[in-house]
Structure 1
């Protein structure tokens, strides 16, 4: 029996960089819509023709709810530019381009990745990160968008500068912009900190968290197995009257054609309640 009567009101967005990977990227929009998704998110839409992405969104009645600004050279291991010395101009250009793309695609949120750091440079990198985010938040405010920062676990992304929820909220307090929010990925949060219910109750009220993401722990599969009991999490989100999107950023356990759709039993069960 559902532990809360309103969990069906939660809004889930398909992450098209992680789901439906048996299909070409531009064909994933239709697949997501066919499975009942109304929202989608992705990593790097700038890698595809903007007009094509916009057409797929419109044709399938989908809202693009989140994407990442260009993170530097991903293939060579870069994971964001915001904290990197000597890359300030490139970072600002990436933000300008991402905000322009967000306007074209009617997307309200852009995730800005921090970048990798080392213990020797961390203090300087953190100061640079804060300064760059303060500038970027001003640009987002001017065009009516929100920038997101996401704590990422050190196991999946060693060296990533931002790892913990409290550090992200410290940044928000220091910068003081309503256009800078936290992207709270419960997979990363569980690995780094746990105590998810308390974290949700602490951070969700007040609008400082702008987006949630989910996946099972530890395998990053569908949110229907593993150490984090998502039925409880969804009931808690409903009790907290979470109105935002919940991004499905997970790796379907069933590979190959139809694997993503086959793994959506958890969502169908939730929607049926």
Structure 2
């Protein structure tokens, strides 16, 4: 059965961030992910994880100036030093939190391309992360939610992996983004999961990014495919609940009940 992680950046926002760990554990989650840990000391986050019996399974490397609209620096020429420093900071947190994977955001490119910059930054970052026992993830993000993002399609991401050949560089397959950009999710799962190059999955309802059972996805079918393919990673619940988070977890309770 797929293993689900609560995304504490989008879920449980009715609570202050530190209280979201307890709320997720109370709803039966065993793992969490979130966008960024850097507003908190790693020792405080470690305490929250341990206190509530949770595993940290994913967070993002520093993305540049997020509040100003930046969405990563790895593909931005002239930002190489900042990207390297961000990777070092992310790895410090990953080691402290025993987090096995970090997502590296590429960035927005309103004109032109910077594939060489992207590949060079990822190659250096993967080498550093490998020494720390951490996987780095790259994620295709849909053009509607994040216009101008450098990486949009699954084939592009897997081409980067093949070109660099780093065993600890993997794809973060978000079924919400994939459905909006290219669809055909069952084929994508059956094509890419068996390669071992998908390090993390994420889910949300399409088109509104609410509970995954809201909208056009047949999540029962998709979970069945993930189970059939024996995916051993985590499925991050990266969605915005329509109302209270716990009240909207009927989809998860039903799924667990049917597979108890």
Do both proteins adopt the same fold according to a TM-score greater than 0.5, normalized to the shorter chain?
yes
- SS at structure 2 position matched to 1:212: strand
TM-score by length of 2: 0.98
- SS at structure 2 position matched to 1:45: coil
Indicate the residue corresponding to 2:248 in structure 1: 263
- Residues 1:103 and 2:76 are matched in the alignment: no
Q: Distance in 2 between matches of 1:183 and 1:142?
A: 21
- The higher relative CO (CA closer than 8 Å, separation ≥ 6) is in 1
Q: Distance in 1 between matches of 2:14 and 2:92?
A: 30
> How far does the alpha carbon of each residue in 1:94-129 deviate from its partner, in whole angstroms, 9 at most, with x for none?
00110111000100000000001134x21xx11110
CA RMSD of aligned residues (A): 0.7
- SS at structure 2 position matched to 1:110: strand
- Residues 1:132 and 2:117 are matched in the alignment: no
**Is residue 26–residue 52 contact of structure 1 (8 Å, CA) maintained in 2?**
no
Q: Distance in 2 between matches of 1:168 and 1:132?
A: 15
Q: Distance in 2 between matches of 1:217 and 1:101?
A: 32
Indicate the residue corresponding to 1:65 in structure 2: 57
Which residue, 36, 42, 46 being the options, matches 1:54? 46
Unaligned runs of 5+ in 2: none
> How far does the alpha carbon of each residue in 1:19-45 deviate from its partner, in whole angstroms, 9 at most, with x for none?
000111011000000000000001011
- SS at structure 2 position matched to 1:167: helix
Indicate the residue corresponding to 1:4 in structure 2: none
- SS at structure 1 position matched to 2:125: helix
Task: Give the count of matched residue pairs.
Answer: 258
> How far does the alpha carbon of each residue in 1:77-106 deviate from its partner, in whole angstroms, 9 at most, with x for none?
100010111110000000011011100010
1:38-53 equivalent positions in 2, closer than 5 A: 38-53=30-45
- Residues 1:79 and 2:71 are matched in the alignment: yes
Indicate the residue corresponding to 2:11 in structure 1: 19
Runs of 4+ in 1 over 4 A off after TM superposition: none
TM-score by length of 1: 0.93
Shift of residue 50, structure 1, vs aligned partner: 1.6
> How far does the alpha carbon of each residue in 1:165-217 deviate from its partner, in whole angstroms, 9 at most, with x for none?
00000000000011100000000000000000000010000210000000000
